[in-house]
Structure 1
Amino acid sequence: MVHSLWAASLSLAVVFPSLSLAQESLSLSVPPKRSDATVSAELDPAFAGFGIEPSNLFSFTGGDTPNTFSIQLLQNLADYSGAPPHIRVGGNTQDYMIYDETFTSISWKRNVESTAQGAIAADSMIIGPGYFQALDRFPKGTWITYGLNLAYQASDYTDRIVKHAQAAVNNLKNVQLYSFEIGNEPDLYLQNQMRSGAWDGAAYSKAFLDRADSVYKQVLEPAKLPATFFEGPCTASTIGNTFEIPQLVDNGFLGDVNGNLYVGWWNQHDYFQFIGVTVEPITLDNLMNLDSTNTQFKYWEKQIKIGLSTGVPYVLREMSSVGPIGMHEVSDTFGAALWTLNFFCYVATLNVSSVQMHMTDNSNASAWQPIEIWGKKPFVRPQYYAHAAIAQIIGNGNGTTQIGSLSTSGAGGDYKGRIRAYSVYANGNIQAAVLINSKPSPSTESNKASYTFDLDLGTQSANKDVFLSYLTADGSESLTGTSWNGMTYDDVTGLASQTDNTIYKTRTDGSGKVSVQVRDTQAVVANLDWLLGSNVVEQVDGSTTAGSRRKSSAGHTLTSPRTMAVSLVAVMIGFFCFA
């Protein structure tokens, strides 16, 4: 492998990219230092994560045999950002599961003696120690938000939830338990027949805090874990109901319970579009109109601000382009990858602390298909490449990365709603710009137009090299053929390969200005001084408790082909590098 990469590196060249003639342009003044409220706090390396439906866990981790494909894809992202992506194991099926320590298989089974309420009964699935054995296979130090069952309410509900929580604390050794959810989308419990009668935000708050109190006193406190270990309310929609943050606060959700505060994060869920719920047609064109994302998310912007005003961090633990399981030729296209990259940057500027894109083994919106299904073998979807891009962007700042929003309201005509730009800071100084052109262009269009971003990076960036990393594919509807930063990912091993060894490079002028062309249906990260992914990224020690991180004393270099190849060139030519 090393020999082949060394040989490949010999063909690398520093070039200016050759693009089609730009039709339109936009001038952007980029603040040279992190300066205002449109810039995020420092992003955690695990910021861009995944949610896994509990019933589907074994598809992603493997049963008796580990799923090395999934594990490698997650390890790639850990190498890029400095930590594995944060994983939420939660969803509807967490409210169907009960724990039985005598069931040792690495699987779940149906409960033939189910007696609980629910359209799907709250005790219909049984898991045991094998469940945590499988979960513990993810990359070392992976932070896990774990969903407990709130729907179950038989007389032994306290014993049940305590045993389940204890099993998670006792059996997870390789990954790191970060937090507990208690219940999934309780605002839908009446609809799902999980509750009847007077069920509202007040009743939920009482039930949540009662179980949190029991889990803390019997499980967390003896394990020396904090009381603020719980996330709520884990709602599907707060609009117009009693599960909004202010109402929950009025109901005592953040209040003292027997001397303890239990809520450590506000956790809400959303989807850009949802089959059977979204009124307008679900189309790729609408997904790629990024103004639509802002319109759909406007209410959640208010919720985020309200949540943060309480002093409690806000996380978006269940998100996707199309729910519940995506839509073929929309959520599995390259256009969806551009939407995903934009969404990560956008919510970072809102100070959402963490985002989990939800996955099931049969979802067209999952970043990869982990097992053979419908006669199709496992493969990597275009969305994964957006995760790789944001991971390298975050890792580029080694724990100091911040993302700011740049106004693109000046983009008009066919480009209205299709142009986005973000500033990226490391150690408080401008380091990169993320430039997105989501104007749809099919793969059949050979001579694509482009859009020019005229960037003014300030005099401190005068006469500097600017390295360009591309998120690209043949067209907006492409299901395959995506690449990021010259890399593609193998559908069998999950390993990265360097398929484009060209280094694309331009330069700022004497006043710090530079023009970057971005082809229709493409994104570019323009990074100052070195090629993104070629710097050393310190790996975070995952053995810490929730809410804190330590950098290991010995940083680890990235192991992707892009990193290895560029590092070699730097030496040779003197660069710096159930549903």
Structure 2
Amino acid sequence: MASPSLRTVLHSLALLAPLTSAQSVSLQIQPKRAGAAVSDELSPSFAGFGIEPSNLFSFTGNETPNNFSIQLLQNLADYSGAPPHIRVGGNTQDYILFNSSYTKFGWEKNAKSIGKGAIASDSMIVGPGYFKAMDRFPKGTWVTYGLNLAYQGSDAADKMVELAQAAVDGLKNTQLYSFEIGNEPDLWLQNGFRAGAWDGKAYTTAFLDAADNVYNKVLKPAGLPATFFEPPATASTIGNTFEITQLTNDGLLGDRNGNYYVGWWNQHDYFQFIGVTTEPITLDNLMNLDSTNTQFAYWEKQIKIALGTGVPYVLREMSSVGPIGMHMVSDTFGAALWTLNFFLYTATLNVSSVQMHMTDNSNASAWQPIQVYGNKPHVRPQYYAHAAVHQIIGNGNGTTQVGSLDVGKVGGDYKGRIRAYSVYANGKAQAAALINSKPGTSGSFTFNLNFGAENANKKIYLSYLTADSHEALTGTRWNGITFDDVTGRASIADDTLNVQTLDGNGQVGIQVRDSQAIVANLDWQLGSNEVIKQDGSTTSGSRRKNSAAPKTTASTMAMLMGIVSMIFICFA
């Protein structure tokens, strides 16, 4: 058998031999965080999920827990140090009322519905089992829960308090993080929830009234802060009165009875949406990453305005294709590359958290939790992008920051297909994330990286996000890892170490195949370091062990636990 070092060389040659690299780009990575344009430190829960409220039990299970879903969430918690932030919200949050006497794990149709709307705003009844199921998520999972603001019966204020109280009382293993009040109120004239003079100003009044009521009757007695709410949870603010500046002028950030209620600005988006997007929805367009920048340009402006108010910004509902994805677009490996890029891109904009929306019948969900349309539960390629981001974040143990590297001069067949990001940990350059989203597998693109002379002669370890083709529905691997379609558990499918060495000036050329991404990490294999978890314990590393990978020291542990404690005090 060949020695490990020879295996590494042979593997690298096998990867490179059939490829032709017609283009390249040279990129300078600042060795130190100081002077580099990078994000704030990323939360280990940054890359999260949204779950449609009517589909909650598909993901959690009914009387019997859905251990497949729970394991997939736990994997990510082990990689970054905390479970992904989950938003339970969407259109159906504005159909739900709470009834404490309904004890089943499920929801039922309201036989006495009086609510307005194309689908009535009180058409669903849930009980305590709803929150018991939600509490099955991995320990410490941050949950943003969406309250029903659409319902306008005479008991509406009391019904919202009942639902909020049930969430506060019912979530014990998980951590209630925040409330939304109403979902996408900018669409309520269209869906019949409101009529007449409904606009951003009317929403501001309704939001503050509801927040004041929930705070005084539920949150304050529970010792939770007033700034527990995330408005406006809009679908889009283009051309309407729900823009952040307008809502600020309407008084949304002002006080109500001496309390301020806005803790985060919350907006939604989809790259493309069936029935709304005018251009053809294709995988090729999804993989043209310039298209993402074009589509998201307006949201970029909103983010800057939001952060200018001193309030953090979250993107709580996002996906490649809405409302339920598209076969051979959002369920392909190409969509995984798009997802990886989108998380890194929004990190550089200082978006605090991103939730990729999931329903049980969506081709854009990271996994299918139950059998639908004759298809058994399975892991989709997109999930592997989540795993990559969680390992990138866990690599820095609370200190990971991301910067965008300029690839604007790349042209020809690779225009719009190349992205590169610098990754910092503990104030120093630690990695580069390199994405080649050109459809196909026959070519490659070379990234000539300069980490600076102080990183001269260091080893750099390559972790691949790869599949046989951009159209692949199965066979995706991240960092040599695959995830089981029955148990959700991770296993090492390829333990080969792919290593290159920086030259005497700290430079290296890395070839990335078309339809592939690589994270190149200095000094050790990504995922081999110890990761500090919320409870103070550590994971021993999810990937092949490497003697150079950092161990957790007592001082590091104390620092990270201090950060975690501060976050919980401030936001929970």
Query: Given residue 12 of structure 2, which amino acid in structure 1 is its aligned partner?
Result: P
- Per the alignment, residue 546 of structure 1 pairs with none
Matches within 5 A, 1:452-467: 452-467=446-461
Indicate which of 476, 479, 482 corresponds to 2:476.
Answer: 482
- Cα displacement (A) at 1:33: 1.6
Q: Does 1:17 align with 2:12?
A: yes
CA contact (8 A) 2:384 2:476 kept: yes
The TM-score, its normalising length taken from structure 2, stands at: 0.93
CA contact (8 A) 1:11 1:501 kept: no
Q: Does 1:468 align with 2:481?
A: no
- Per the alignment, residue 359 of structure 1 pairs with 358
Separation of aligned partners in 2, 1:539 and 1:440: 38
- Cα displacement (A) at 1:557: 2.5
- Per the alignment, residue 509 of structure 2 pairs with 515
CA contact (8 A) 2:75 2:489 kept: yes
Superposed CA offset, 1:278-311 (max 9, x none): 1110000000000000000000000000000000
Separation of aligned partners in 2, 1:575 and 1:167: 48
Separation of aligned partners in 2, 1:14 and 1:220: 56
Cα distance change, pair 576–204 in 1 and its aligned pair in 2 (3 A):
closer
Separation of aligned partners in 1, 2:395 and 2:534: 14
- Cα displacement (A) at 1:167: 0.5
CA contact (8 A) 1:86 1:356 kept: yes
Separation of aligned partners in 1, 2:456 and 2:198: 61
- Per the alignment, residue 421 of structure 2 pairs with 422
Q: Does 1:524 align with 2:518?
A: yes
- Cα displacement (A) at 1:556: 3.4
- Cα displacement (A) at 1:36: 5.0
Q: Does 1:230 align with 2:229?
A: yes
Separation of aligned partners in 1, 2:255 and 2:6: 61
Matches within 5 A, 1:20-419: 20-35=19-34, 38-419=37-418
Cα distance change, pair 197–12 in 1 and its aligned pair in 2 (3 A):
farther
Greater RCO, CA 8 A, separation 6+? 1
- Cα displacement (A) at 1:32: 1.2
Separation of aligned partners in 2, 1:341 and 1:10: 30
SS at match of 1:191: helix
Cα distance change, pair 235–12 in 1 and its aligned pair in 2 (3 A):
farther
Separation of aligned partners in 1, 2:311 and 2:221: 24
Cα distance change, pair 37–318 in 1 and its aligned pair in 2 (3 A):
farther
SS at match of 1:226: coil
Superposed CA offset, 1:38-96 (max 9, x none): 41000000000000000000000000100000000000000000100000000000000
Superposed CA offset, 1:161-207 (max 9, x none): 00110010011000000000000000000100000110000000100
Separation of aligned partners in 2, 1:455 and 1:512: 8
CA contact (8 A) 1:440 1:476 kept: yes
Separation of aligned partners in 1, 2:99 and 2:188: 24
Superposed CA offset, 1:528-574 (max 9, x none): 00000000000024xxxxxxxxxx2x43334x4x2xxx22xx4xxx5
Separation of aligned partners in 1, 2:421 and 2:393: 13
Separation of aligned partners in 2, 1:153 and 1:208: 13
Separation of aligned partners in 2, 1:23 and 1:391: 32
- Per the alignment, residue 492 of structure 1 pairs with 486
Separation of aligned partners in 2, 1:12 and 1:114: 70
Moved more, 34-43 or 268-277: 34-43
Question: Structure 1: 5+ residue runs without aligned partners?
Answer: 1-6, 542-551
Separation of aligned partners in 2, 1:411 and 1:481: 30
Matches within 5 A, 1:518-557: 518-541=512-535, 552=536, 554-557=537-540
Question: Structure 2: 5+ residue runs without aligned partners?
Answer: 551-572
CA contact (8 A) 2:523 2:548 kept: no
- Cα displacement (A) at 1:497: 1.1
SS at match of 2:26: strand
CA contact (8 A) 2:52 2:88 kept: yes
- Cα displacement (A) at 1:410: 1.7
How many residues matched? Answer: 544
Superposed CA offset, 1:392-444 (max 9, x none): 00000000000000000121100000000000000110000000000001xxx
Q: Does 1:505 align with 2:504?
A: no
Separation of aligned partners in 2, 1:14 and 1:284: 33
Percent identity, aligned pairs only?
Answer: 71
CA contact (8 A) 1:12 1:502 kept: no
CA contact (8 A) 1:316 1:354 kept: yes
The TM-score, its normalising length taken from structure 1, stands at: 0.92
Query: Given residue 480 of structure 1, which amino acid in structure 2 is its aligned partner?
Result: T
- Cα displacement (A) at 1:14: 3.8
Query: Given residue 347 of structure 1, which amino acid in structure 2 is its aligned partner?
Result: T
Separation of aligned partners in 2, 1:397 and 1:212: 37
Superposed CA offset, 1:368-399 (max 9, x none): 00000111100000000000000000000000
CA contact (8 A) 1:82 1:538 kept: yes
Matches within 5 A, 1:435-446: 435-441=434-440
